[in-house]
Amino acid sequence: MAETAREPILEVRHLVKHFPLTRGVLFKRQVGAVKAVDDISFELFRGETLGIVGESGCGKSTVAKLLMNLEQPTSGEILYKGEDITKLSGRALKAVRRNIQMVFQDPYTSLNPRMTVGDIIGEPFEIHPEAAPKGDRRAKVRELLDVVGLNPEYINRYPHQFSGGQRQRIGIARGLALNPEIIICDEPVSALDVSVQAQVINLMERLQDEFELSYLFIAHDLSIVRHISDRVGVMYLGRMAEIGTDREIYEHPTHPYTQALLSAVPVPDPEARDRRERIILHGDVPSPANPPSGCRFRTRCWKAEQRCADETPLLAVPEVLRDAEGPVRHPSACHFAEERTVVPA
């Protein structure tokens, strides 16, 4: 899919978000900043799914909020079809919002408990009246319920009358209402039971084909991300560590963090228990308010040398792999990148 249409629909350039840390009640002064997102660039192509993985505090949810214009970036650009949406406001911003929608993590808090399902899914039409004439809205909502696999008769029910999986379908229907081109999915299945996760993932894949959607799929579950994504970016402490196609990342990881992350995932195969190589990282993720100099991962990395502290590795095809052929050759922000297979085939 990614091969046929190489036209980026969304381009993120040097995106930075620092949350100021302040002291004092009346006279606030800044005493530092949480560097939630620190210079991130990537592209999202039409009809593809870009997965973003990383552990809590890596900034992946902040990226989602920035893309949704729920937070203003400290610097950097977000180009939607060549236009920087961070500079937009008012009517122009509202128009862009029609095309970028979001599915939230927690289906229990993302639906207003005092509104009916019909009102929730119909709200996009009330905010953007041009999207559907007034008389058609009810019918549209019913159609959307049907599309996400819910009985249209439930239009007058309230969210608490549904199970988690059903609620997530309602959230997806709301995201689809305005016929967007891009859907940002922030951990859309992590709150669901295993047997229901598969239903929702299948639904999302079907909708992508049906409506030619581009997904930015943010999750911590590496197996699900591999399943749904065409390309995957690995984030660590506000930076992108490695990015590439699912095969490049999962089968030929070159960044030590990606390797450690992949090796730590529990695999549902007891036979692999003994033959798997585990990279156990020591220590915790440093605070984003006070990140290490140079490479962010160096404090937990077994390869770290003085150079890693002095020089920030850029996200590019590493020098040592410049001449390599095949899937090993992909951007990886490490001075000492080398291939290491950690997922047993």
Partner 1 sequence: MPDVPMKATPEAATLKATQPAVPVPVDEQPDSGPAPGKPRSLWSDAWHDLRRKPSFLISAGLILLFLTIAAFPGLFTDASPRDGDLTQFYLQQPQLTHFFSPEWLGYDAQGRSIYARIIHGTRASIIIGLTVTAIVFVLGSLVGMLAGYFGGWVDTVLSRVVDTFMGIPFLLGAMVILVSFDVRGPMVISLALAVLGWTTIARVMRGSVIQVKQADYVQAARSLGAGTTRILMRHILPNAIAPVIVVAMIALGGYISAEATLSYLGIGLADPAVSWGGDINFGKDSIRVASHVLIFPSIMLSATILAFLMMGDAVRDALDPKLR
Partner 2 sequence: MSDRTERPTADEPNATTGTTGPVETTSSGAVRIDKSAEAPADRDTPLLEVRDLQVEFRTREGVARAVNGVNYSVNAGETLAVLGESGSGKSVTAQAIMGILDTPPGHIAGGEIRFRGEDLLTLSEDKRRAIRGDRIAMIFQDALSSLNPVLSVGYQLGEMFRVHRGASRREARERAVDLMERVRIPAARERVNDYPHQFSGGMRQRIMIAMALALEPDLIIADEPTTALDVTVQAQVMELLAELQREFHMGLILITHDLGVVADVADRIAVMYAGRIVETAPVKELYAAPAHPYTKGLLESIPRLDHKGKELYAIQGLPPSLTALPSGCSFHPRCPLSTERSTTERPPLHPVLDASEAPVAGRGSACHYWKETLHG
* 17 binds partner 1, rule: CB under 8 A: no
Instruction: Choose which of 33, 203, 279, 289 interacts with partner 1 (CB under 8 A).
Output: 203
Spell out the SS3 assignment of the chain: CCCCCCCEEEEEEEEEEEEEEEECCCCCEEEEEEEEEEEEEEEEECCCEEEEECCCCCCHHHHHHHHCCCCCCCEEEEEECCEEHHHCCHHHHHHHHCCEEEECCCCCCCCCCCCCHHHHHHHHHHHCHHHCCHHHHHHHHHHHHHHCCCCHHHHHCCHHHCCHHHHHHHHHHHHHCCCCCEEEEECCCCCCCHHHHHHHHHHHHHHHHHHCCEEEEEECCHHHHHHHCCEEEEEECCEEEEEEEHHHHHHCCCCHHHHHHHHHCCCCCHHHHCCCCCCCCCCCCCCCCCCCCCCCCHHHCCCCCHHHHHCCCCCCCCHHHCCCCHHHCCCECCCCCCCCCCCCC
Contact segment (CB under 8 A) with partner 2 among 136-144, 168-176, 199-207, 303-311 equals: 199-207
Question: From residue 1 to residue 40, what is the string marking binding to partner 2 with x (rule CB under 8 A)?
Answer: ----------------------------------------
Instruction: Choose which of 30, 161, 223, 293 interacts with partner 1 (CB under 8 A).
Output: 161
Instruction: Choose which of 30, 75, 109, 287 interacts with partner 1 (CB under 8 A).
Output: 109
Question: From residue 140 to residue 169, what is the string marking binding to partner 2 with x (rule CB under 8 A)?
Answer: -----------------------x-xx---
110 binds, among partner 1, partner 2, none (CB under 5 to 8 A by kind): partner 1
- How many residues are listed for the chain in this entry? 345
Task: Please report how close the Cβ of residue 332 comes to partner 1 at its closest, in angstroms.
Answer: 32
How many other C-beta atoms are found inside a 10 Å radius of the C-beta of residue 335?
A: 19
Nearest to 36 by CA among 14, 19, 22: 19
* 214 binds partner 1, rule: CB under 8 A: no
* 194 binds partner 1, rule: CB under 8 A: no
Which residues, 302 to 331, sit near partner 2 by CB under 8 A? none
* Contact of 333 with 255, CB cutoff 8 Å: yes
246 binds, among partner 1, partner 2, none (CB under 5 to 8 A by kind): partner 2
* 289 binds partner 2, rule: CB under 8 A: no
- Looking at residue 67, its amino acid is L
Instruction: Choose which of 150, 232, 261, 337 interacts with partner 1 (CB under 8 A).
Output: 150
* 93 binds partner 1, rule: CB under 8 A: yes
Give how far the C-alpha of residue 254 lies from the chain's centroid of Cα atoms, to the nearest Å.
21
- Residue 174 has phi, psi (to 5 degrees) of -60, -40
* 179 binds partner 2, rule: CB under 8 A: no
Which residues, 111 to 140, sit near partner 1 by CB under 8 A? 111-116, 123-124, 126-128
Q: How far apart are CA 165 and CA 227, in angstroms?
A: 19
* 273 binds partner 2, rule: CB under 8 A: yes
Instruction: Choose which of 82, 135, 266, 326 interacts with partner 2 (CB under 8 A).
Output: 266
Q: Identify the residue whose tokens are 């140079």.
A: 294
* 280 binds partner 2, rule: CB under 8 A: yes
Task: Please report how close the Cβ of residue 10 comes to partner 1 at its closest, in angstroms.
Answer: 15
| Residues contributing to the site for partner 1 (CB under 8 A) | 25-26, 65, 68-70, 93-94, 97-98, 101-102, 104-106, 109-116, 123-124, 126-128, 146-147, 149-151, 154, 156-158, 160-163, 165-166, 169, 171, 174, 178, 196, 199, 202-203, 206, 209-210
| Residues contributing to the site for partner 2 (CB under 8 A) | 55-56, 163, 165-166, 193-199, 201-202, 205, 220, 222-224, 226-228, 246-247, 250, 260-262, 264-273, 278, 280-285, 343-345
